[in-house]
Structure 1
C-alpha cells in the first residue's frame, strides 16, 4: 500500500475529508491539512481500523424507525416559554434537564451550543421534544403582528439573513461557483473552453449558448458551475451588499510569464472578497516553462505559499492546450468546496446573483443569474433592486427552456422591462403586489441615499477612524510606471506607527479605473493616483460611491499630504513639566476645612492647576491635585518662590511636616511619524 494524501485516503474510506482530518487529530496524528502525506504503514493501520469500526456498525441490529403516533406518545408535558427565554441555559432549566446534558446531546447530533446562546424557535422545539416536551411560545400572536408591521423588504431581508440558522438541519451541499481569473494571454479562455468541451456530455455540447455567461459541468458525479465572463464587480459590488457571486477563484498564471500586473489585481479582488484561491500554473507544455520560478513569484509577489512548500495554497500545474492536469484541478476544486462546506437552503423563495444583464434580441432585457438558495420557477415574481418582473421564461446554459432552476444553476431570466443592475441580488416574492411594494421601497431608499451621499475626504475618513480602536487606512495606489509605483508604495508603507496601519490593498500601473473605485468601496478606502489620469467613468462611479480620489505629480507632495493626515490621527504625547519645588513647614488642622499644608516655595512656582508629587525621605508618597491655593488668606492662582502658601489637597491628607513637594503641569506634545 503506497503512501497517500489525506484527501486520497478519505476517498478510499468513502468519508468527507474534513471528518477524516478530525478523526486523525483525535488519534493523535500530526497532520497539517488535506494535502499532507500519510506513510504506507499508517495508511494500512488506518484502513484496518476503520474497516473494523464499519464491521461493528454493520453487525448492530438496525434500529426501526418510530411511527409518528409513537413519537407523539413520548411527549409527556407541554412547557410554556417566553420568546426572551429562548436560550440554552433557560430552556434547560424549564424542562428540568442538566445544562451539560443538553449541550452534550446536541453536540452528538452535530450542533454545537454554548450555555448562554440564543436559540431559534426550531432548535428550541427540537431540544424540548428530545426530552419528551412540547414547546409552546408565549405571545406568538403578538410576534406575528410585529412581523406584519415590518415592511415587505425588511421581511425578505430578515428571512435570508436568518436562513442558515433557522433551517440549519435542512441545509444541503451546493455545487461550487468558480471564477477563472488572471493576466491577459495566460490562458483563461483556453482553460474554460477545454473544460467545457471535455466535461459536458457530447449530446449537450452543441447546444451551449455563450449568452448566459456561465455554465455547469459534471465531474465524478458532482457538479461545478463556472462563470464565463468574470468581472471584478462580481467581487466588489455584490460583496458590498452581502451576496457572494463566487465561491472559489482559480487564478491562472502562465509558467513562461509568471505573475503579472493583472494577476496581482485579480488576486487582490479575490482577497478583498475573502474567496479561497486555487492557483493553476498554465502552459507547462512550453519549452521555456519554469514551474518553480513561477511558484517563487507567487510567494514574493502575492505571499501565496504552495502546499508542497509548506504553505496552504493549492497549486496545480496544467496545460489548457493539451488537457494535462485539468482532472487534478477539477478534483482540487471539489476538495476545496468540500472543505469550505458550501451550503444552501433548497426550498422556499429563490435568491439569485446577477452575473450579467443585457438586451437580448427577441427577448428584451434579460438577467443572467446564478441561483444561490431556493428554487426559481417560471411564473415567479422577482425583485432586482428598484425593478421587478414576472419570470416569463427560463433558459439554461444549454439554450433549453426549463420550468425551474436549482441552487448553483446558471440561468437566463426573461421578463424584465428594464435592465437589472449587477449590484443587486434578485429575490423571488409571493405575488405582484409584494414585488411592486418592495420595488418602491428600494427606489425610495436609493433616492434618500443619493440625497445624503457626498464625497468623503481623506481627512474625514481619518477622523471617522479615530473613533475605532484599531486604526487602519486602506489605499488603492496607481502610478504611471513600475518604478514610480515601487517608489510610491515603499514611501506610503513607511508611514506607519504602532497605532496606525496603512494597507496598500492594491497597487498597479495605469490610469485610475472603475474597478479601482469599486475595490475602494468594498474595503472603505481611498484611491491615490501618482502621475496618472482618472478615467471619466471612474470619476462618475467615485461620485456615486462617495470615494475620494487624490492625484499627485510629485512624490513629496503625496507623502507630505498623507503624513499630515496620519499625524492628525496620532494621540498627542502627554508629558510632565516640572515647574516648582517646595517643602511642608507646618500642618494646620482647620475646623470644617480639614488638613492644610503650610508650604515654603524653594524654587519655581506652584499654580492652582498643578499636579503635586509628595515625597518623604526621598520616596514618592502620593500624587494629588490642588483643591485650594492661598497666599496668606487670599485665594490665588499662582505663588512664586520664595513665597509661602497654604495648600489643601483634593484627595489626600496623610502628609506631615518635612515632606517635599514637586509641582508639575501636564503638556500635550504633537507626535510625528
Structure 2
C-alpha cells in the first residue's frame, strides 16, 4: 500500500474525512489538512487498526448511542421546561436588564446557550455585553419569550413583513436537527478569456445527461452534474458580477467559488477583483490553473503569483488552498477538479432543510413568450411544488409549472436544484429571494406590506457615508472601516495604501477589501453594496453606470486628486470612531491650616487656597511630606458656613473629604477635574509627510 492523502484514506476506511482527521490528531499523527500525505507504514497500521476496531464498535455502538440520546433528551426537557415557565407571562425589563447576563436570567435561557446559538448563526455575543433594544428583542423572539420595556425606544422599529418566515429558518438552522447534506452550489470566476465559459461548457457536455426530445433549449441559469455518485450544482453565468449582486440583495447562493487562472497569463486585474469578491463573501476558494496544454504555460510561475498577489498558498507549498492544473479545452484534470469540489463540500458540511417552507435564490428573471413572467431559481431549503403560493419582494404568484435544467417539467424540486418557476404575476427583482407561503391571503398581505415599505425606503438609504461612520460604529464593539480603492496608476495605489496603513490602530481596523487601477465601475458599487464599504477614488472618475447604481443603492463615492486631502478625511472619520480619553486637569492647590473634628460628621479641613480654584464636583489629591495619602471626591465644600460650588484663591474654605478623616495640619491639597478629550491618531513618520 503506497502513501495516501487523508481524504483518500478516509474513502478506503469508509469514514467521514473530518472524523478521520480528529482520530489522527488523537493518535498524535500531525497533519495540516485533508490533502496531507500519510506515509505507507502509517497507512497500513491504520487500516489494520480500524479493521480490528469495527467489531468492537458494532457491539457497543447501539448502547452508547442510546445512552447519549437519553442524556440529551433529559437535558433538553429540563431546558424546555424552564423556558416554558418564562413564556407564560410578559417579562418587564428596565435599562439595568439590558446586559446579556441579567437578560438571560430574566427570560430563563442560560447565557452560554444564547452565545452558542447566536455563534452558530454567525453572530458573536460576549458574556455580560450591553444589548440595544433591537438585539434584546431578537434574542427574546428566538426563545419565544414575551417582553416589554420600560426603556424609551429612540429608533423607529419598523415591522418586518417576512419576520415570521425568517424566524422559522433561523430557528431550524439554530437547532440543526432537521438539516441534511445538500449538493454544493458552485460559481466559476476569473479574468476575461481565462477559460471560465470553456470550463462550464466542457462540464455540461460531458457530465449532463442527454436532453429528452421536446425539451426547452434555453438555459435556466444553472445546471447539475453527477460525479462519483454525487451531485454538484453549477451557476451557468460565469463571473463575479452576478455573484456579488445576489449577495447585495441578501441572496447568496454560492457555497464554493472556483477561481480560473490561465497558466500562460497568470494573475490579472480581474483575477484580483474576482478573488476579492469571493473573499468578501467568505466562501471557500478552489483555484483552477487553466490552459496547461499551451506551449507557453507556466504552472509554477502562476502559483507564485497566487502567493504574491492574492496570498493564496497552494497546499503542496504548505498552505490551505486547493490548486488544480487543468485544460478546460481538452478536459485534462477536470475530473480531479470536480473531485476537489466534492471534498471541499464535505469539509464545509453544506446543509439545507429538505422539507417545510421553501427558500430559493433567483438566478435570473425574464418574460418568456410561452410562459410569461418566469424566475430561474436554485432551491436552498424546502421542496417547491406545483400549486405552491410564492412571494419575492412585492411580487407574488402561484406555481403553475416547474421546468428543470434538462427542459423537463417536474412536479417538485428540493435543495440545490435549479428550476424555472412559472406563475408569477409580474417579474420579481432579479437576484432576490423566493419564499413559499400557506395561502393566497398571506401572499397578498406580505407583498402589500413590502410594497409600502419599499416606497418609504426610497427616501432612506441603508448604506453609510464617510461623515456618518461614527453613528454607524456607536454600538459596534469591533470597529472596522471597509474601503474600496481605485487609482490612476499602480504607483499611486502603492503610495495610497502606504499612507492609509499608517492610520491602522488596535481599536480600529481599516480593511481594504478591494483595490484596482482604473475608473470606478458598477462592479465596485456592487461589492460596496454587499459589504457596506466606502469607495475612494484617486485621480479617477466613476463611469455613468456606476454613478447611477451608487445613487440608487445609497453608496457614497468620494474622489480626490490630492493624497493628503483623502488621508485627512479618513483621519477625521477614524478619530470620531475612537473612544474619548479621560484626562486630569489640575484646577488649583491649597494647604490645610486647621482641622475641625465634628461629632457625627468627621474631620473638616480648614483650607487656604494658594492658587487656582476648587469645585464641589471635582476630585482631590492629598499629599503629606510629598507622598500621596488620599485620592477621591469632595463630600462638601463650604465658605463661611455656606455650601458653595466653587472657591477661588486666595480665599479660605472648609472641605470634607469623602470617606477619609485622617487629615493633618500642613497637608497639601491638589484639586483636579476629569475631562473627556477627543483622541487623535498619529501617522508613522508624520513629520516626513507632505
Q: TM-score, normalised by structure 2?
A: 0.80
CA distance 1:410–1:610, shift in 2 (3 Å): closer
> What are the within-5 Å matches in structure 2 for residues 305-324 of structure 1?
305-324=313-332
TM-aligned CA deviation for residue 219 of structure 1: 0.5
Partner of 1:418: 426
> What are the within-5 Å matches in structure 2 for residues 1-150 of structure 1?
1-56=1-56, 85-86=82-83, 117=113
**In the aligned structure 2, how far is the partner of 1:15 from the partner of 1:560?**
57
Tell which deviates more after alignment, 12-21 or 493-502. Answer: 493-502
Greater CA radius of gyration, 1 or 2?
A: 1
CA distance 1:59–1:116, shift in 2 (3 Å): closer
Q: Deviations over 1:416-474 (max 9, x none)?
A: 23222134211122333332222212212322323444774312222331332222111
CA distance 1:205–1:582, shift in 2 (3 Å): farther
Partner of 1:338: 346
**In the aligned structure 2, how far is the partner of 1:470 from the partner of 1:59?**
50
Instruction: Note if contact 1:178-1:249 (Cα within 8 Å) is conserved in structure 2.
Output: yes
2:372 alignment partner, one of 364, 371, 376: 364
Partner of 1:266: 274
Partner of 2:646: 637
Instruction: Note if contact 1:514-1:538 (Cα within 8 Å) is conserved in structure 2.
Output: yes
TM-aligned CA deviation for residue 238 of structure 1: 3.8
TM-aligned CA deviation for residue 39 of structure 1: 1.1
Unmatched segments (≥5 aa) in structure 2: 67-73, 88-108, 118-143, 148-158, 682-690
Partner of 2:126: none
Instruction: Note if contact 2:189-2:240 (Cα within 8 Å) is conserved in structure 1.
Output: no
TM-aligned CA deviation for residue 210 of structure 1: 4.6
Partner of 2:166: 157
Q: Deviations over 1:487-522 (max 9, x none)?
A: 223222322223222111111223323332232222
Instruction: Note if contact 2:386-2:402 (Cα within 8 Å) is conserved in structure 1.
Output: yes
CA distance 1:234–1:245, shift in 2 (3 Å): farther
> What are the within-5 Å matches in structure 2 for residues 589-628 of structure 1?
589-591=597-599, 593-601=601-609, 606=614, 608=616, 610-628=618-636
CA distance 1:183–1:62, shift in 2 (3 Å): closer
Tell which deviates more after alignment, 464-473 or 7-16. Answer: 464-473
Partner of 1:394: 402
TM-aligned CA deviation for residue 323 of structure 1: 1.8
CA distance 1:507–1:210, shift in 2 (3 Å): farther
1:174 equivalent to 2:171? Answer no
Q: Deviations over 1:369-397 (max 9, x none)?
A: 11112222223221111111222222221
**In the aligned structure 1, how far is the partner of 2:83 from the partner of 2:588?**
64
CA distance 1:234–1:53, shift in 2 (3 Å): farther
Q: Deviations over 1:285-329 (max 9, x none)?
A: 223322222222222222222212222111111121222221111
1:564 equivalent to 2:561? Answer no
Give the secondary structure class of the aligned counterpart of 1:239: helix
1:554 equivalent to 2:562? Answer yes
2:657 alignment partner, one of 630, 634, 649: 649
Q: Deviations over 1:222-267 (max 9, x none)?
A: 1111111145465444435554311100011122222222112111
Unmatched segments (≥5 aa) in structure 1: 67-76, 91-112, 121-142
**In the aligned structure 2, how far is the partner of 1:151 from the partner of 1:469?**
26
* Matched residue count: 610
Tell which deviates more after alignment, 394-403 or 214-223. Answer: 394-403
Instruction: Note if contact 1:205-1:398 (Cα within 8 Å) is conserved in structure 2.
Output: no
**In the aligned structure 1, how far is the partner of 2:475 from the partner of 2:165?**
33
Instruction: Note if contact 1:218-1:224 (Cα within 8 Å) is conserved in structure 2.
Output: yes
| Aligned residues: CA RMSD | 3.5
**In the aligned structure 1, how far is the partner of 2:62 from the partner of 2:635?**
84
CA distance 1:36–1:615, shift in 2 (3 Å): same
Q: TM-score, normalised by structure 1?
A: 0.82
TM-aligned CA deviation for residue 625 of structure 1: 3.1
TM-aligned CA deviation for residue 115 of structure 1: 10
Instruction: Note if contact 1:631-1:639 (Cα within 8 Å) is conserved in structure 2.
Output: no
CA distance 1:467–1:115, shift in 2 (3 Å): closer
CA distance 1:62–1:17, shift in 2 (3 Å): closer
Tell which deviates more after alignment, 453-462 or 548-557. Answer: 453-462
**In the aligned structure 2, how far is the partner of 1:571 from the partner of 1:544?**
33
2:466 alignment partner, one of 448, 458, 461: 458
TM-aligned CA deviation for residue 366 of structure 1: 1.6
Q: Deviations over 1:157-176 (max 9, x none)?
A: 3322223345x444321111
Tell which deviates more after alignment, 242-251 or 580-589. Answer: 580-589
Give the secondary structure class of the aligned counterpart of 1:162: helix
Q: Deviations over 1:610-652 (max 9, x none)?
A: 53211234332111233444555565733325x6543222442
CA distance 1:189–1:520, shift in 2 (3 Å): same
